[in-house]
Amino acid sequence: MAKNEQDDGEDRGASETSREDGRDAPRVSAREAIRGAAVQLTELLGAQPDSVSALQPRDGGGWVADVEVVEIERIPDTSSVMATYRVTLDQRGELMGYERTRRYARGQLDRA
């Protein structure tokens, strides 16, 4: 039987999200998506996420998460500059893209 994939698993062919039986691979859990979003955003921004304020499943698999990040730490803590990043993950939990959607002081409340 000929094998088209490398033994180390790096070449997975046309679609890494499809299984051999033609069905889509299962989506990572919400917990795994949150953890993955935080870790991958930390690697890109060099800033530690403070919290995940929203997580929604995407049509066709994957997740969209809003991650709160401390961009500038100040004393007192309520004056630290925060940012909300919208992170898009594929169904394996890999980061596909991100954008900063909001910047604010930590002590600032949203108006209703």
Q: What is the pLDDT of residues 64-86, one digit of tens each?
A: 999 999 999 999 999 999 999 99
Alpha-carbon dihedral of residues 106, 72, 43, 56, nearest 10 degrees? 20
Yes or no: say if 47 and 79 are a contact pair by the CB < 8 Å rule: no
Domains of the chain, by residue range, sit at 30-105
Nearest to 91 by CA among 66, 63, 112, 53: 63
Q: Which residues of 22-41 are buried (b: 16+ CB within 10 A; e: fewer)?
A: eeeeebbeeeebbebbbebb
Whether this model's pTM surpasses 0.85: no
Model pLDDT for residues 16-55, shown as the tens digit of each residue: 444 455 456 668 999 999 998 999 999 999 998 999 999 9
- Amino acid making up residue 69: V
